[in-house]
Copies of this chain bind each other. A is one copy, B any other.
Amino acid sequence: MNGENNVSIIEVAALADVSTATVSRVLSGKRTKNDDISRRVRKAAQSLNYEANYAASALRSDVTKSYGLLIETVQDTFTAQMVDALEQAANTADRQLILAIGMNRETREERLATLYSRRIDGLIAVARGKGARTGGDESTNGPDDQGIQGHRIADFAASHPDFSVVQISGNAPTLYANWVGMDDSGTIQLAIDHLTARNATSIAFLGDFPNNMLTANMFATFQSTSEITSMYTEPEWSTFGPHTVERGYRDTLGIFSPQSGSGRRPQGLICTSLHVAIGARMALGQLGLSVPEDVKIICITDNRPFTNEELEFTTVSPAYEYMAEETIRLLESRKKSPHWLPAHTMFPPHIVQRASTHAPRFGASDMEQPASRDQ
């Protein structure tokens, strides 16, 4: 079939004995039922060579905007949840996402070049979840591969001024690219507030290896916030190590062992990884302590759905949906004027309460958690 003749939708509708709206819905795929009507329309269109015309006109039109989506891998919990949210936001804005996955620097350069040579209207680059926020999966990049970071993306944005670019998460961006990320400093404060409101008066912190800025910041915030809020803690109650079940188990046995210090014990645990939280809970079970009755556990992680443990953990999670919507909004408002400046927007995380901190709360109705958009 070719579309040289100029058949109109009216002729197809007449031949199929349906309305033109029905023809449009069937041929555009919006009508998905495969019944007699659909078959009649397709048959009529085919015999009149109409479908080819339809496709050609869709091709010529400018309706379908595409954005390139550059990521390192979908096997990263932050990226995976961000991609799900971005697809949703792009679809709502009637845009499509062209997927580009670069696991190492060389592949990313190649994908950037390919994306640019194709028909895309903007670029979204998602950096991996880093440090504590990646939960159980932090396959590290090679020593000289920094992953998707501001520097390279900004280079690309600077050398392609006709091109809208949004980087999500990762290191500080420059003046050439938009950036959408998470407000990390609020994370620990939110977690402590959550435990305080549930009557915990003493807390422990099972952190990441303190080898990056994020962990250092989190620990500093943990110390200052517990002091300000008169939340009791002891130096031995802060531990650092890998994101494993065994480490959570060992550290928790250590913290709760009867011979330690003051005779007090934590009523709340803040864990920066889900696997550590699982181990902590197993240790508590062995010590005859219940979660959440005796000890409440909150998980600072974006590793939301990658588990189905018997007890579900309360988490502090990035605001994926808001970040995705803002990203698409920034791409839609292209940089047109010479006075364009990029937007750098941080979204506060939010708490998704689950069984591990479920408890009667202290205080009045104005302490109600705002309804979460997740789940």
Contacts and interface: CB of A to CB of B under 8 A. Distances in A.
Interface string A233-253: 000000000111111010000
B137 A306 contact: yes
A372 interface: no
A24 to B, nearest CB: 10
Contacts of A73: 80, 84
A146 B111 CA distance: 35
Interface in A13-35: 28-32, 34
Given A58-B119, A96-B98, A113 B28 contact: yes
A188 to B, nearest CB: 23
Interface in A56-105: 58-59, 64, 66, 69, 73-75, 77, 79-81, 83-84, 87-88, 91, 96-101, 103
Contacts of A64: 118-119
A4 interface: no
A309 B99 contact: no
A75 B30 contact: no
Interface stretch (A157-165, A217-225, A337-345): A157-165
Contacts of A84: 73-75, 101, 103
A120 to B, nearest CB: 9
Contact of A158 (B34, B75, B138, B160): B34
Nearest to A32: B109
Contact of A282 (B79, B118, B249): B249
A349 interface: no
B156 A309 contact: no
B29 A116 contact: yes
Given A29-B115, A51-B162, A113-B30, A244 B308 contact: yes
Given A99-B87, A119-B55, A306-B306, A32 B156 contact: yes
B75 A308 contact: no
B98 A308 contact: no
B137 A308 contact: yes
A38 B159 CA distance: 8
Contact of A99 (B83, B113, B307): B83
B282 A116 contact: no
A155 interface: yes
Nearest to A136: B307
A117 interface: yes
Contacts of A132: none
Given A59-B119, A75-B306, 17 more contacts: A28-B117, A29-B115, A58-B117, A64-B118, A74-B74, A75-B77, A75-B80, A75-B81, A75-B305, A87-B99, A91-B100, A97-B98, A99-B99, A137-B307, A242-B310, A244-B308, A246-B285
Interface of A: 28-32, 34, 38-39, 42, 51, 55, 58-59, 64, 66, 69, 73-75, 77, 79-81, 83-84, 87-88, 91, 96-101, 103, 109, 111-119, 136-139, 155-156, 158-160, 162, 242-247, 249, 275, 278-279, 282, 285, 304-310
22 contacts: A28-B116, A29-B113, A29-B116, A30-B117, A31-B113, A32-B159, A55-B119, A64-B118, A66-B98, A75-B80, A75-B81, A83-B101, A136-B307, A137-B306, A137-B307, A139-B305, A243-B308, A244-B308, A246-B285, A246-B310, A282-B282, A306-B306
